[in-house]
Amino acid sequence: MKLILRATCVLAALICAGSAGAQVWKPPTLMKKLTNGLTVVVSEDHSAPTFGLCISYGIGFRLEPEGRTGFAHLFEHMMFEGTPVAPKGVFDRVIEGGGGFNNGDTRYDFTEYIESGPISTLEPILWLEADRMKTLDFSVKNLDNQRNVVEEEVRVNVLNQPYGSFEWLDLPQKAFDKYPNSHNFYGDFKDLDAARIADVQKFYEQYYSPNNAVLAVVGDVKPDEIFALIEKYFAGVHPRPTPPHPDVSEVPQTAERRGEQTDKLARIPALAIGYRMPPRTSPDAIVGAVTGDLLLNGEASILYQALVKDKQVAVSVSGGDNWPLGNAFEYDGPTLMTSFILYPSNVTENQVVMAYDQVVAELATKGPSREQVERVAAKMRSDWYDQLEIPINRASALSHAVLIEGNFDSVYDTPDRVAKVTPEQIRDFAAKYLVAKNRTVINRVPALNENGAAPSGGAQ
Amino acid sequence: MKSLLTGICILILAASAYAQKEQPLPTDLPTYGPQNPLRAPDVKTVKLDNGLTVWLVSRPGFPKVAFSISVDGGLAADPSDRPGLSELFAKVLGQGTKTRSAKQIAEEIQSAGGDLYSFSSRDRTSVTTNVLSSKMEAALGVLADVLENSSFPDSEVAVAKKNASDELRQNEAQPSFQASRALARVMFPGNPYSVVAPTQESLALMTPAELRVEYARRFRPDHAVLVAVGDFEMAKMTALIQAKLGGWKAPSTPAVAAAPKPSGAPAHSIYFVARPNSVQSTLLFAAFGPLRGDADYEATEVANAIYGGIFSSRLVLNIREDKGYTYSPSAFVQTLKSAGLVRTQADVRNAVTGASFNEISYELNRVATTDPTDEELGKAKRFLLGIEAIQLQSSQALAGELAGLWGDGLTPDEIGNYGKKVAGVSAADADAAAQKYFPASRMTIVAVGEEKVIRDSLAPFGLPIQAAP
């Protein structure tokens, strides 16, 4: 979240008829591990003279220290603040001066650094990525500067925005009980203000090591040459021990959780509903992903049709499994299937929830039709390929998958696994997971309506 | 920090001593590799007998096809007593044809792997979808039906009106929307470009019949482009388009006219939008700039990149990376068909509203009055060239870019020409564009936030401050 801002394998990509005649697409991809533990993935794509690169480190906001909410993201900003040999500003000058761009993103269980540019820019960028894996310029001045920038980011995305991102910032805090899953991921200002350069140093030492990272490069490269180049620049980076992964699992929820918030900036009410999802490794996880899309993805989705079109109790419906923090598989601990619903002021929260519950109850008893599931599978295949079309996005998907799962199989076989999910599995999934005692609901209503009076609807 | 305003009022431009020094690069850093020529897409252009313009890019391999259809006529073409009609129009387009319901359309496109998006900009109305290439024929069938046979059902119009009314309320809570709406009203008084959204009053008056009139006026093959980019054989796609759209009839009625050019520059003054409970001020600086086809368009892009359009630009290094006033400063050259704008926007915490105003003014004047360094000029040019190549890797983005070029009256060659023109921009060209468009004295400023914060923070600059229309 540092800044504002697809490829065809002409010869090597495999396209063939897969299950049920679906189009299967698997561009060539190779993986290697350096002796210092850095995993490298390369996918060749000569459709344009460009590259996309993603390096993900196995640390996200879930495991940031107590008393330091928002620190993983603040730290992400510090990765752009220079090193002793390449001071602040060099990275941006080199990537932009070469015709490319860079960015960073902090998520539950990883932090990614991404670049894309003309292929002529790749070698200096690899050098710079290796350089910031060795050490950083731990500068108090730069920390103070980025603390200000991050606090402005929180203002622009949370404090000065209607709804304040409550559907992904507040909902997990109410839905979960353990600190790693239930704190303010963007950071309380008192915690951001309390961050010291020693915290930056310690976090870097603990988590920003080659053995806790996966580097993926996609684009106009020859695998042998690129592996050699990466060996040249990264082999000298020393591995460091990574702290043991704590148990972040939650005690199962036993009762529905409801919350009410008021919003000084919003003009119409909103609801966020989150169901706890199975662990990523559960066979139910793939069914959850399909169920999420069936219910929530696009105008053909069941909830859009029921709530916005038929019953007209909602203005918009969006959401999904692990939404909006990555795709339905990019997590390594508790996550939610979230629905975010804007609704008119003359409709009550209960009317929306009742209409919602009717949809879910029908899914849990009758299940979807075979045709519905086939349509959703086609849509998911199409959407999935979209995130692999251009090099920088494919590099991200490969890097995240290898970091979380140890291999990149899911990057190419998810559409086929989706296509095998049956209506009965979805029905059973809904009956097991999409139940009131497994969910958290937050209703957020405008503090005042347009006339300055208390809102007529919204509250129960 | 609290008395940050004292002293800056008079010496506005001299107050900031900030200028970046270029540090040498690390000695071991490898140099850039040889620059590969960036390949312009090979666009096949076809004109059907009914006048439909068809632009096709075949990219075998990645198994998808992106379609983008644009027609003349957007928000600026709406009847003057129905401002924002296009927004409702685009919402209901795709919600029913003579033979398909809204749900059938959504489900058929979903089966093909896509969503149907329709939207109106100021100059155009567009329909796009991005589907699996194995399903392109089915998708094109639905698209053709929407282009030729949309019915704007009364029931769908009623639902869309209610939702558009709530969405307008929701948008009005967002500072960026408030700033853009105010800016359009200030920059284009009396010109149809002054409208970016409907009002509650105009929405309430809109009828299904009015939407059908606009549909008949705008959706005609002789003033439309269909772009397809992706995994298909040229001959097959051409035949499919001929089969599905060859029967679309052009009416003999007059086509939608382009918006008139704006008359005269607005005042160098500050317009505020009061937004109680704001914790930031949203500052928007704008002045007229070049059109997309103007000779100095590329030089203006280069000047903008040096000034504030990229991360390592002067403005971002100053107000973000040095001073920490803002997370998201942005500067860009916006082109409509009949008007161009240079725009700067930053959301800054209330306490630094005046200081940020000062620094933005300083950087605008600095780019207008000082020569870029060789590094700045070279970086800006290479950035623009590289980013274009990166963005056009995406089939959807390329389809959208091509449809936009058609809308501006340009040809597909413009993609390749753009690169050549950028490469040819000299320091003198960038200077001339910066002098012409960027001086702070040319700017009209919109500020959204707490009224008292804006008034108190910006009064020292001596410009008239008034409520935005």
Residue A138 belongs to domain with CATH number: 3.30.830.10
Residue B377 sits at the vertex; the CA angle it makes with B376 and B380, to the nearest 5 degrees, is 80
Q: Which residues of B399-423 are buried (b: 16+ CB within 10 A; e: fewer)?
A: bbbbbbbbbeebebebbeebbebbe
Give the alpha-carbon dihedral of B198, B202, B208, B210, to 10 degrees: -90
User: Is B389 in Cβ contact with A4 (below 8 Å)?
Assistant: no
- Which pTM value belongs to this model? 0.94
Domain count across chain A: 2
What confidence tens digit (pLDDT) does each residue in A422-458 have? 999 999 999 999 999 999 999 999 997 555 554 444 3
pLDDT (0 to 100) of residue A23: 79
Query: Would residue A43 count as lying in a domain?
Result: yes
Q: Does A206 touch chain B (CB under 8 A)?
A: no
**C-alpha span between B248 and B71 (Å, rounded):** 14
pLDDT (0 to 100) of residue B224: 98
For B263-403, strand residue ranges (E) read 270-274, 280-289, 330-335, 340-349
Q: For residue A98, list chain B residues with Cβ-Cβ distance below 8 A.
A: 32, 382, 386
pLDDT band at B264 (very low <50, low <70, confident <90, very high): confident
Please tell me whether residues A167 and A274 are part of one structural domain. no
Contact B412, B43 (CB under 8 A): yes
pLDDT band at B34 (very low <50, low <70, confident <90, very high): confident
Please tell me whether residues A229 and A271 are part of one structural domain. no
Shortest CA distance from B172: residue in chain A: A267
Contact B425, B50 (CB under 8 A): no
Asked if residue B21 has pLDDT above 80, the reply is: no
Query: Would residue A179 count as lying in a domain?
Result: yes
Query: Would residue A4 count as lying in a domain?
Result: no
Please tell me whether residues A341 and A427 are part of one structural domain. yes
pLDDT (0 to 100) of residue B139: 98
Query: Would residue A348 count as lying in a domain?
Result: yes
pLDDT band at A270 (very low <50, low <70, confident <90, very high): very high
Asked if residue B326 has pLDDT above 80, the reply is: yes
Please tell me whether residues A264 and A356 are part of one structural domain. yes
Domain hosting residue A201, numbered range: 14-234
Asked if residue A357 has pLDDT above 60, the reply is: yes
Please tell me whether residues A69 and A206 are part of one structural domain. yes
Q: Of the candidates B62, B111, B383, which has its C-beta nearest A378's C-beta?
A: B111
Q: Does A140 touch chain B (CB under 8 A)?
A: no
ipTM above 0.90 for this complex: yes
Asked if residue A269 has pLDDT above 90, the reply is: yes
Q: Of the candidates B115, B330, B394, which has its C-beta nearest A389's C-beta?
A: B394
Q: Report, as an integer, the average pLDDT of B442-465.
A: 98
Query: Would residue A286 count as lying in a domain?
Result: yes
Shortest CA distance from A4: residue in chain B: B328
Give the alpha-carbon dihedral of B121, B403, B412, B244, to 10 degrees: -150
**What is the β-pairing status of strands A316-321 and B465-467?**
unpaired
Please tell me whether residues A75 and A28 are part of one structural domain. yes
- Chain B: nearest CA to A368, how far in angstroms? 14
- Chain A: nearest CA to B307, how far in angstroms? 14
Q: Which residues of A37-47 are buried (b: 16+ CB within 10 A; e: fewer)?
A: ebbbbbbbbbb
Please tell me whether residues A300 and A269 are part of one structural domain. yes
Q: Give chain A's mean pLDDT.
A: 93
Residue A36 burial (C-beta neighbours within 10 Å; 0-12, 13-18, 19+): middle
Q: Of the candidates B38, B326, B378, which has its C-beta nearest A97's C-beta?
A: B378
pLDDT (0 to 100) of residue A449: 58
Please tell me whether residues A333 and A442 are part of one structural domain. yes
What is the C-alpha R_g of chain A? 23
**C-alpha span between A55 and A122 (Å, rounded):** 13
pLDDT (0 to 100) of residue B295: 97
Please tell me whether residues A284 and A159 are part of one structural domain. no
pLDDT band at B36 (very low <50, low <70, confident <90, very high): confident
pLDDT band at A80 (very low <50, low <70, confident <90, very high): very high
**C-alpha span between B280 and B179 (Å, rounded):** 13
Query: Would residue A34 count as lying in a domain?
Result: yes
Q: Does A17 touch chain B (CB under 8 A)?
A: no
Query: Would residue A455 count as lying in a domain?
Result: no
Asked if residue A460 has pLDDT above 80, the reply is: no
**Which two structure tokens, joined as six digits, stand for A444?**
């957020």
Please tell me whether residues A191 and A283 are part of one structural domain. no
Looking at chain A, how many residues does it have?
A: 460
What confidence tens digit (pLDDT) does each residue in A129-186 have? 999 999 999 999 999 999 999 999 999 999 999 999 999 999 999 999 999 999 999 9
What confidence tens digit (pLDDT) does each residue in A388-405 have? 999 999 999 999 999 999
**C-alpha span between B438 and B362 (Å, rounded):** 11
Shortest CA distance from B392: residue in chain A: A6
Q: Give chain B's mean pLDDT.
A: 94
User: For residue A77, how many C-alpha atoms fall within 13 Å in the half-sphere facing its CB?
Assistant: 26
Q: Name the one residue in this structure whose structure tokens are 């906001």.
A: A61
**What is the β-pairing status of strands A439-446 and B44-47?**
unpaired
- Chain B: nearest CA to A202, how far in angstroms? 24
What confidence tens digit (pLDDT) does each residue in A290-309 have? 999 999 999 999 999 999 99
Domain end marker among A234, A268, A294: A234
pLDDT (0 to 100) of residue A10: 29
pLDDT (0 to 100) of residue B20: 58
- Residue predicted with more confidence, A7 or A376: A376
> How many other CB atoms are there within 10 angstroms of residue B263's CB atom?
9
Task: Please enumerate, as own/partner, the contacts of B417-421 that have beta carbons within 8 Å and a separation of 24 or more.
Answer: B418/B298, B418/B388, B419/B38, B419/B40, B419/B385, B419/B388, B421/B297, B421/B298
For A246-296, strand residue ranges (E) read 257-263, 270-276
**C-alpha span between B134 and B126 (Å, rounded):** 24
**C-alpha span between A367 and B126 (Å, rounded):** 36
Q: Does A127 touch chain B (CB under 8 A)?
A: yes
Q: Which of A168-182, B36-50, B427-441 is least confident? A: B36-50
pLDDT (0 to 100) of residue A22: 72
Q: Does A28 touch chain B (CB under 8 A)?
A: no
**Which two structure tokens, joined as six digits, stand for A76?**
């992400």
Domains recognised in chain B with CATH numbers = 44-245 (3.30.830.10), 270-467 (3.30.830.10)
**C-alpha span between A4 and B344 (Å, rounded):** 13
Query: Would residue A454 count as lying in a domain?
Result: no
**C-alpha span between B346 and B331 (Å, rounded):** 9
Q: Is the dihedral of CA A110, A113, A119, A122 positive or negative?
A: negative
Side by side, the strands of the sheet bearing B224-230 are: B44-47, B53-58, B224-230, B64-72, B124-132, B117-120
Q: For residue B39, list chain A residues with Cβ-Cβ distance below 8 A.
A: 48-49
Q: Does A226 touch chain B (CB under 8 A)?
A: no
Please tell me whether residues A138 and A35 are part of one structural domain. yes
Please tell me whether residues A185 and A318 are part of one structural domain. no
Q: Does A47 touch chain B (CB under 8 A)?
A: yes
Asked if residue B16 has pLDDT above 70, the reply is: no
